[in-house]
Amino acid sequence: MAADPPAGYPDMPDPWTLRYQGFDPAEEGLREVLCAVGNGYVVSRGAAPESVADGVHYPGTYLAGCYDRAESTVAGRAVTNEDLVNCPNWLPLTFRPAGGAWFSGPPAEQTLELDLRRGLLTRTALVVDGQGRRTRLAQRRLASQARPHLLALESTFTPENWSGPLEVRSGLDGRVANTGVARYRGLTERHLVPAGQGADGTGLLRLEADAVNSPLRIALCARTGTDREHTARTECREGWVARVLTLEAAAGRPVTVTKTVAVHTSRDRAVETPLLASRLLAAEAGDFDRLLAEHALRWAELWRRCRIEAEFDGVGPLHLNLFHLLQSHSEHSVDLDVGIPARGLHGEAYRGHVFWDELFVLRLLNLRFPELARAVLRYRHRRLDAARRQARALGLHGAAYPWQSAQDGREESQQLHLNPLSGRWLPDHSHLQRHVGSAVAYNIWQYYQSTGDREFLATAGAEMLLEIARFWSSAAVHDPARGHWSIRGVLGPDEYHDGYPGQTRPGLDDNAYTNVLASWVLARAQDALDVLPGYRRDELRERLALDTVELDRWQVVGRHLHVPFHDGVLSQFDGYERLAELDWPGYRRRYPDLRRLDRILEAEGDTVNRYKASKQADALMLWFLFSAREVRDLLRRLGHPAGHELLRRTTDYYLRRTVHGSTLSSVVHAWVLTRCDRRASWHHFRDALVADLRDSQHGTTAEGVHLGAMAGAVDLLQRCYTGLEVREDALWLDPHLPSALGRLELDLRYRGHWGLTVAVDRRTVTVSLHRDRQEPVRIRLRGTAATIRPGESRCFHL
């Protein structure tokens, strides 16, 4: 990294290690998130095993797709939320010299190291009890990538100045609640109730819990053992069970205890019951070293498929971002019917819901793990009927995908949100971000362009695309005065503006990003039909009752949606130019951090709806999704002869008025600026790359990582600075390396090729294909066209 991190931030002594020294209560939540271990099925925060949820520590564990719905009373109103469940705590493990107090932390000394290459969290500590007895503690922890239902914790105790009986207590705790986000406190927190606990004759612990309002059962079994002679007893009460081992310890002689835990749920496939499956797996699992060896082998495979060699000083944060992405969504997620939660499986922010962030994640996965991208799109397809119901509820046709999704695909957006600065609960209109449907459509088409997977398009993708296009066509209303069509009452990606000043009706008219994307969707829907085999095209049209009259309407609407402009730039929405300018110098003097400008203004009795101020990129998102040439073509299709200077003017205009209140903002601005200001682009890239590592949003990372920003920062290297695009059945390259980036080399998967290497430096681009039986790849680079066959390599001079 460019400089030593500020005090309180972790150290990365090498590109594959994250290290924390000592214990800082103020940073504990951040540390727990960044040191989490997981495998796509389960993620467990890096909390100390002896800790409990006490306002400093939060030993949360989350299982993909496990939600519970509960009702709460907020500001006198009954509201219902569906939450990702904080699952029974598998971690509890503590110790004491006989006659002492159970160790509850913090230790006198401590070092944490997360090995990103192997997915292993190591803790070394010195514990001094009330009688001055010193014990060295070494712990290793993993969530198996080889066996996704297994977690393991190895603890080694070495007395320094004492000998005698040592007691180790290893437990399972089902008395958990969702209390990890302070602003949600006061809402219903309890989502699990105990359903049984105990131990069998071998000392194998079991614990079951049921969700309060959903048909979910979770079962854990734990095996705790040591190769030293010992005695053991079981302690048990409702929702909690533990095994206590007593063994002789001697000064200078290490004692190792291993805890292996299996977890299953009623959502899992190919199990008779969750309890039986967990009991069998925990009983047969190998020792820690064996589990680590097979786990490390799987991580080695993942890192080979994610290879990015980049010549700059931030490779460590790059690996950290990829690590947490692969822990949140992996091969173990494919059969679970789950989306990608915006905050990963690392905490309870946004209640574990799925937003549009997959737009940033799938662009990366399409060219690395297309099977994972396809699984996310299947998640969306299974909820197509829910999106159709939502459209009907709005009095429209087609499919309206929800801004927030969880288990069954209904709209999960909150009705009220708390401004912690004013203490007021305010109406929440974020569900009006209808552009999420266009994000789903974009992801479908990008997946198809990257993979050539016509089977998916024929069986699922085209149907979703057509229904999203149908929604946009029915949402558009004709404005005779302008001779255009309008889409009214929506929110754009900015999120700050949710209505016009002085009006009670929420929503905005003709958000430029929404309208241009709707036009693009209407065009791609026809392309999707054209790609399908004739018989399948006819089947779909018959199934959807899609006639020529409707298709013709799509083309009319798609070419005549209103796109507002003012002062030579793209307007964020119709009427944006009438908003007031904020006193930026004055507010920057009064508030050192303006990222939550909306909350600041509301607390002052004002509203951000009055001002030309943005939380994050909105209109500029167009240049994030499409090349400059494609944006010009899209606008010309809508009747606007956009010139080459539009990008620079629009970027300069909104950049001066954007506070970057979202981690996604730096990703988008880095992408857009690479076409007009590479130095500024690199600055935003570096901000995006370390957004979670340095907790740039001041405390939010402790509630969960920001997966969209993590993936987006990696994709800036993969696709932005290489100028890599997939369209028109070809791989397009147009490199724009910032001066701080010397060289890039990537291994990609593209249309069945598992070994496509792209190497970029200041003078050349080299594309190589491994030998296989796949079709040749078409390359387009700055006016040059080439076809590369398997086993060939081609060097292009810039």
C-alpha 670/C-alpha 687 separation (Å) is 9
C-alpha 220/C-alpha 205 separation (Å) is 8
State CA 190 to chain mean position distance. 25
Are the beta carbons of 261 and 90 closer than 8 angstroms?
Answer: yes
Which residues, other chains included, contact 15 with Cβ-Cβ below 8 Å and sequence gap of 6+?
Answer: 315, 316, 318, 319
Q: Quick one: which of 597, 522, 601 has its CA closest to 561?
A: 522
Residue 93 is given by DSSP the state E
Instruction: For the beta carbon of residue 368, count every other beta carbon within 10 angstroms.
Output: 24
Residue for token digits 């614990």?
Answer: 207
C-alpha 96/C-alpha 107 separation (Å) is 13
Residue for token digits 């309002």?
Answer: 213
C-alpha 521/C-alpha 796 separation (Å) is 34
C-alpha 216/C-alpha 66 separation (Å) is 7
3-state secondary structure of 210: strand
C-alpha 734/C-alpha 740 separation (Å) is 18
Question: Any catalytic annotation for residue 495?
Answer: yes
Catalytic: which of 27, 331, 463, 495? 495
Instruction: For the beta carbon of residue 39, count every other beta carbon within 10 angstroms.
Output: 30
User: What counts of helices (H) and strands (E) characterise the chain?
Assistant: 21, 34
3-state secondary structure of 496: coil
Give the count of alpha carbons within 13 A of 38, CB side only: 33
C-alpha 189/C-alpha 205 separation (Å) is 26
Helix (H) or strand (E) holding 777: strand 777-781
Residue for token digits 């240049």?
Answer: 623
C-alpha 697/C-alpha 704 separation (Å) is 12
Residue 309 pairs with which residues in a beta bridge?
745
C-alpha 475/C-alpha 214 separation (Å) is 34
Q: What Å distances lie between residue 714 and 314, 360, 696, CA to CA?
A: 11, 10, 17
State CA 372 to chain mean position distance. 13
Helices (H), 674-774: 678-689, 707-715
Strands 17-21 and 109-115: antiparallel
C-alpha 769/C-alpha 754 separation (Å) is 9
Q: What Å distances lie between residue 357 and 327, 342, 534, CA to CA?
A: 16, 6, 34
C-alpha 519/C-alpha 634 separation (Å) is 8
Residue 718 is given by DSSP the state I
Q: Show which residues are catalytic.
A: 495
